[in-house]
Structure 1
Amino acid sequence: MNQLKPVTLSKFSTDNPPDSVEWCPTQSTLFVCGTYLYDGADKSRKGSIFCLNLNESTNSINTLQHLNTNGILDMQWLQHDSTYLSTICSNGQFVLYSLTSDQNEPLKQVLCEDVTADQTLGLTHNWYRPRDINQLTSSRYLVVGDQSGSLTLAELNTNGLEYIQQWQAHDYECWTCAFDYTNSNIVFSGADDCLFKIWDIREQAKETHLSREHKMGVCSIAVSPFDEHQFLTGSFDEYLRQWDKRMLDKSLKETKLNAGVWKIKYHPQNAQNILCACMANGFHIVDNTNLTVKCSYTEHTSLAYGCDWKHRDPLNELASMNMDDHDITNNLQDNDNTVATCSFYDKSVHVWKTQTIH
């Protein structure tokens, strides 16, 4: 197996501590960073969104837009009738921005709704993204996890955000939640109670599976966009685990990454590359076949929270549509292994890429 060497392209400093970065799926050089700052003096939680552009000629990061917001806990891009950015905020609000062609203000707020009870701290959210594009509808389903351990299910449609149900899923903070991308009725959740759960959300949410394998809180879940049976979990117990939905009694594989596995990201095209943010131990690219570490990035000096893969240019994406997984893996360009990461207390965003060591 070839090893990968990280090469830093650029660094950027934020106003508040950053906790999330997301590359735009439709504009390959654009990405966003969300920040969160708790002020103990007045008990406020403030934040900001940086809309950034990577200049690939100079490897510099330019600020396109800066928005002052409530504390940002989670962000995701959504491709619907257009391209949107959704955020979950410290006051329990869901805020949706439309990506426009205005280079001075590319993000325009189009919706703001309370999604947690009594302004409970919102922590995480996930959109239902069917693996089969033919299953896309005019409505999009959203699940939100919060500090109280509750999950909220909602639907985004032409009328805005409509609530379907809310239930107490866990006794402590629900750090992570995700849809099963082959079935919009199935939701996964993980929390500070060390439990991983699966829910059937038809009518009243029903717990269909509970795992006690994690020895500490479950803080990340990633559902494979390539394999309909596979998903990954990360925990404060420092293990990354690979699962098969058909055999849930025990994880298939696990590897210790020596810090809490806060975020997990599948590569957009290469099923073998998994990006992990590991809190006090930097960022790692893990091989999905055997869960061995292929590359480690340790240039950050604080807690590793946010990470994401840069998406391919849409023209390159079209060119790869007729390739199988093996061909895609072997035809990846440098830009296909470009990563954005952020660390908390040093208020730092890095863009880096990998080079293959033969």
Structure 2
Amino acid sequence: MAEATLQNLYPSSNQINTLYTYDTVLSADSVEWCPHEPYQNFFVCGNYQLDESSKNKNTETPQKRLGRILLFSISPVNGLKLWQSLNTPGVLDQKWCHNQINGLSILGVVNSEKTLEIYKFKPQDKKLLKPLPVKFELELITSYKIVEADNSEVLMLSLDWSTGKYESQEPEIICSDSKGRWHKFMFDKTGKLILLESSFPMHSYEAWIAAFYYWNTNVFFTGADDSVLLKFDLRIGLDPVLENKTHTGGVTSIHSNAEKEHIIVTGCYDEYLRLWDIRSMKIPVGTLKMPGPLWRLKWDPFGSNYLLAACMSGGAHVVDGHNKDDLKIIESYYKHKNITYGVDWSHLNESEVNKFSYEGNRIISTCSFYDHLLCVTKLYVEDR
């Protein structure tokens, strides 16, 4: 659908305004805001791009995938500031642990070289003979690389922390990969990753997403390019306890609602947002046709009543999710011209948000792939 037509059907409003833009150079596919005070004005942007110089038609060697993790902050005085650019393998997904661990903000990253990486956020006040500006950076503290018997190429595609509802100093992490499998880890008190379990291929194609049910993290879900949504309950065993074939395209996004028990949301290439009650999953309890294929869905961190959606070729949108029978788009953003992949809500409270230009009570970030564009915007959503 042409952009002009989309904007006629899902018009942007004066309630959403661009604060900052940034050219990430490499293709951008994820943005994640730090949830912890006093660093809620910090966020990371992940990059992923094929290295054309590594392409060799005469060998079967996989083409190299380049990546970067960009650490930014925003402030009403200094605007958007890049603090650090870390070269990595291609970044597929990033998530901050919802609670701090040993007083530190911890970031999980999955990449194109079979690896889950864990970084800590370091504010450093480096004072020598005279005071110098505070320095902020990410430091890699541990990683785990999946070992393949045949040394085949594997991309780790997604991750989720178990801490969405209940805090833990030894949280678990669920990941999915390009062979249709899931891997479950624990980040222990010594700061190391322990692989708890890896599955056989549970999906026929790439498992784009794995996500915990935050109210009981024995339960988690995976979704894949085979259009199947699987539910697991490790109290029963390693095999799925439910196979849902409602989706008519690849299942790309799953997010548990931390405020409403039993509720999860899924996104799909078939352009439908689906709301589910996990106690009975024959049919969704709510659906909404979106303006494009869905890649990411995020419940807001202030009450989990609104959803932020990355619709790839169809822009970014805010969905009112108060009423499962009346899901509706209330804001739309079309600054991105080519594949909107990353979206996230800032955790800044309204008093902090008010210090920035324009009217509004929320700040969000979005990013797109082929035009390698990062945007930070301000908007208004009704608190109710």
Report the TM-score, using the length of structure 1 for normalisation: 0.89
Residue 186 of structure 2 aligns with an amino acid whose one-letter code is E
> What per-residue deviation string (whole Å, max 9, x for no partner) do you get for residues 128-152 of structure 1?
1252x4xx44321111100000101
1:63-212 maps to which residues of 2 (within 5 A)? 63-78=82-97, 79=99, 80-81=101-102, 82-102=104-124, 103-115=134-146, 117=148, 118=151, 120-129=154-163, 131=165, 133=166, 136-159=167-190, 160-167=192-199, 168-202=201-235, 204-212=237-245
- Distance, in Å, in 2 between the alignment partners of 1:6 and 1:18 is 21
2:361 matched to 1:341?
no
- Distance, in Å, in 1 between the alignment partners of 2:164 and 2:365 is 25
Give the corresponding residue for 2:44: 32
**Are the structure 2 counterparts of residues 315 and 161 from structure 1 closer, same or farther at C-alpha, using a change threshold of 3 Å?**
farther
Alpha-carbon distance, 1:258 to partner? 2.5
Regions of 4+ moved over 3 Å: 115-119, 313-316, 333-336
Q: Do 1:17 and 1:35's aligned partners in 2 also have CA atoms closer than 8 Å? A: yes
- Distance, in Å, in 2 between the alignment partners of 1:107 and 1:356 is 32
> What per-residue deviation string (whole Å, max 9, x for no partner) do you get for residues 34-53 of structure 1?
10011244111011011001
- Distance, in Å, in 2 between the alignment partners of 1:283 and 1:271 is 18
- Distance, in Å, in 2 between the alignment partners of 1:116 and 1:279 is 32
Alpha-carbon distance, 1:315 to partner? 9.2
Residue 67 of structure 1 aligns with an amino acid whose one-letter code is L
Q: Do 1:49 and 1:68's aligned partners in 2 also have CA atoms closer than 8 Å? A: yes
**Are the structure 2 counterparts of residues 334 and 207 from structure 1 closer, same or farther at C-alpha, using a change threshold of 3 Å?**
farther
Q: Do 1:190 and 1:218's aligned partners in 2 also have CA atoms closer than 8 Å? A: yes
Q: Do 1:99 and 1:107's aligned partners in 2 also have CA atoms closer than 8 Å? A: yes
- Distance, in Å, in 1 between the alignment partners of 2:350 and 2:214 is 23
Give the corresponding residue for 2:331: 295
**Are the structure 2 counterparts of residues 335 and 64 from structure 1 closer, same or farther at C-alpha, using a change threshold of 3 Å?**
farther
- Distance, in Å, in 1 between the alignment partners of 2:213 and 2:203 is 19
2:281 matched to 1:271?
no
Secondary structure of the structure 2 residue equivalent to 1:251: coil
Q: Do 2:350 and 2:361's aligned partners in 1 also have CA atoms closer than 8 Å? A: no
- Distance, in Å, in 1 between the alignment partners of 2:343 and 2:14 is 17
**Are the structure 2 counterparts of residues 268 and 334 from structure 1 closer, same or farther at C-alpha, using a change threshold of 3 Å?**
farther
> What per-residue deviation string (whole Å, max 9, x for no partner) do you get for residues 276-321 of structure 1?
00000100000102210000000111110001001025998xxxxx
Which of 275, 286, 291 is the aligned partner of 1:258? 291
Larger radius of gyration: 2
> What per-residue deviation string (whole Å, max 9, x for no partner) do you get for residues 149-198 of structure 1?
01011111034111111112211000011111111211101000000010
Alpha-carbon distance, 1:204 to partner? 4.1
Which of 225, 231, 241 is the aligned partner of 2:274? 241
Give the corresponding residue for 1:225: 258
Give the corresponding residue for 1:48: 68
Q: Do 2:360 and 2:380's aligned partners in 1 also have CA atoms closer than 8 Å? A: no
- Distance, in Å, in 1 between the alignment partners of 2:261 and 2:281 is 14
- Distance, in Å, in 1 between the alignment partners of 2:20 and 2:351 is 25
Alpha-carbon distance, 1:271 to partner? 2.6
Give the corresponding residue for 1:14: 24
- Distance, in Å, in 1 between the alignment partners of 2:188 and 2:361 is 33
Give the corresponding residue for 1:311: 347
> What per-residue deviation string (whole Å, max 9, x for no partner) do you get for residues 27-73 of structure 1?
12111101001124411101101100112235x21111111111100
Number of equivalenced pairs: 336
Secondary structure of the structure 2 residue equivalent to 1:100: strand
**Are the structure 2 counterparts of residues 335 and 107 from structure 1 closer, same or farther at C-alpha, using a change threshold of 3 Å?**
farther
Give the corresponding residue for 2:378: 353
> What per-residue deviation string (whole Å, max 9, x for no partner) do you get for residues 332-352 of structure 1?
x96741100001111110000
For structure 1, the 5+ residue unaligned runs are: 317-332
Alpha-carbon distance, 1:228 to partner? 1.1
- Distance, in Å, in 1 between the alignment partners of 2:223 and 2:53 is 31
Q: Do 2:273 and 2:294's aligned partners in 1 also have CA atoms closer than 8 Å? A: yes
- Distance, in Å, in 1 between the alignment partners of 2:147 and 2:287 is 33
Give the corresponding residue for 2:7: none
**Are the structure 2 counterparts of residues 242 and 44 from structure 1 closer, same or farther at C-alpha, using a change threshold of 3 Å?**
same
- Per mean C-alpha deviation after superposition, the further-off stretch among 114-123 and 248-257 is 114-123
**CA RMSD after TM alignment:** 2.2
Q: Do 1:178 and 1:188's aligned partners in 2 also have CA atoms closer than 8 Å? A: yes
- Distance, in Å, in 2 between the alignment partners of 1:228 and 1:40 is 46
Q: Do 1:92 and 1:114's aligned partners in 2 also have CA atoms closer than 8 Å? A: yes
Alpha-carbon distance, 1:242 to partner? 0.6
Q: Do 1:4 and 1:355's aligned partners in 2 also have CA atoms closer than 8 Å? A: no
Alpha-carbon distance, 1:5 to partner? 2.2
Q: Do 1:273 and 1:285's aligned partners in 2 also have CA atoms closer than 8 Å? A: yes
Q: Do 2:15 and 2:359's aligned partners in 1 also have CA atoms closer than 8 Å? A: no
Residue 265 of structure 2 aligns with an amino acid whose one-letter code is L
